[in-house]
Structure 1
Amino acid sequence: MHGISLALENAVRHYGIAAVFLTMLLESACIPIPSELIMTFAGYAAFRGEMGLVPAIIAGVLGNLTGSLLAYWIGLRGGRAFLHAYGRYVFFSERHFESSERFFAKYGAITVLISRLLPAVRTFISLPAGIAKMRLSTFTLFTIIGCIPWVAILAYIGYALGQHWETITAHFTLFTDLCAALLVIVFVSFLLRNQIRNR
């Protein structure tokens, strides 16, 4: 986890706006890269004068939208067959889809807007939206509306904490180690639960 955070920070510092766009694209295309790190690093880079804060936010939103549309298209074209074949690689099972499908049926398109403001969930919501054949215009609109505050707030946090960044990152190793331990626990629990269910 600490290595990932350093890699993201270095990518943003060396490649600027392009790195922000590309990493946010991957994050929204069901690749579990933490947008919380990407955009706070972008905000800090803006504080250092390495990029503009507004261009960083725009790049983050566009990357988010592009990746979301890619995942939506995969879900739309691949459907349930794609989910059966590849869903397990992103920890998204048929049971997860059925749950999302019921949520869509109950709350409608607003599901996408709400999910864009939730950590972790926001990364994977585009795939079931495509599988559910949600209208593209509505999906795009809700994705943009949901992405803007998320991306802007994270970038501003990084910008606002700029002068204290070194102090914060000095204690970042402990935080990332705790996050890594939590991810391992979740991953092992997921595997054990699936193994028990299969038996």
Structure 2
Amino acid sequence: MAAPPLPGFLAHLAPLLGHYGYLAVGVVVFVEDFGVPAPGETILLAAGVYAGAGRLNIVAVAVIAFVAAVAGDNIGYLIGHHGGRAFVHRWGKYVFLTPKRFQATEEFFDRHGGKVVTAARFIEGLRQANGIIAGTTGMRWRRFLAFNALGAALWVGAWSTLAYFAGSHLTAIYDEITRYQVYVLVALGVLVAALVVRHVVRRRRER
């Protein structure tokens, strides 16, 4: 069966996906999730289009992407856990991230990190740094694993299903979604800042 033409922004992935199939999906999603600049989300969308045309199996695409996403984020977590803390303590003072402020960040992430880890999966930039941040701030691994798996399941399920059914109309739909993603990112940033400020104020009152 001939591969269907990929719409718009996905077209450049046709040779990679056409030649390597499921392997391309797994490897690209995996390496993106611990900081390597790779098109993880776009290859998932492209694989969904291929699956909708009968070129790939949508269940296999979803399972491979989910396993790769969780595994990649856990590599990121290990990088942050074993190397990030020492790096922050040594160089953080040059960007005003003192040990005291870093401790406050750790406590905040321990309390609210589950929400951040889940939501970060859908936000470009945060998706790649998600595991590293969680590991650096000392989030408990089991808690990270649970929320990371939840975020990965929602992310894979949403994008693969959308691509599977949208087919050639995917570009217009994706453009519309990403337009609102900016507002979501701003709102999330404001929410996180508000929670940090509330946490700091509460600690000062307790003292």
d(CA) in 2 for partners of 1:38, 1:84: 37
Q: Equivalent residue for 2:43?
A: 38
Distance change (3 Å), C-alpha of 1:59 and 1:133: same
The normalised TM-score by structure 1 is: 0.67
Q: Equivalent residue for 1:127?
A: 132
Identify which of 14, 18, 22 aligns with 1:13: 18
Aligned letter for 2:38? I
Q: Measure how far apart 1:10 and its partner are.
A: 2.3
d(CA) in 2 for partners of 1:128, 1:77: 12
d(CA) in 2 for partners of 1:58, 1:8: 20
Aligned letter for 1:32? P
Distance change (3 Å), C-alpha of 1:83 and 1:16: farther
Q: Measure how far apart 1:83 and its partner are.
A: 5.6
Q: Equivalent residue for 2:149?
A: 144
The normalised TM-score by structure 2 is: 0.65
Q: Does 1:80 align with 2:80?
A: no
CA contact (8 A) 1:42 1:155 kept: yes
| Matched position secondary structure for 1:153 | helix
Please give the root-mean-square deviation of Cα atoms over the aligned residues, in Å: 3.4
Identity of aligned residues (%): 29
Q: In terms of Rg, which structure is larger? A: 2
Distance change (3 Å), C-alpha of 1:80 and 1:56: same
CA contact (8 A) 1:9 1:38 kept: no
Aligned letter for 1:80? R
| Matched position secondary structure for 1:29 | coil
d(CA) in 2 for partners of 1:132, 1:11: 36
After TM superposition, the structure 1 = structure 2 runs for residues 101-112 of structure 1, keeping only pairs within 5 Å, are 101=106, 103-104=108-109, 107-112=112-117
d(CA) in 2 for partners of 1:126, 1:110: 13
Q: Does 1:25 align with 2:30?
A: yes
How many equivalent pairs are there?
162
Q: Which structure 1 residue ranges, 5 or more long, are not aligned?
A: 88-92, 176-199
Q: Equivalent residue for 1:183?
A: none
d(CA) in 2 for partners of 1:94, 1:46: 48
Q: Measure how far apart 1:111 and its partner are.
A: 2.4
Aligned letter for 1:107? H
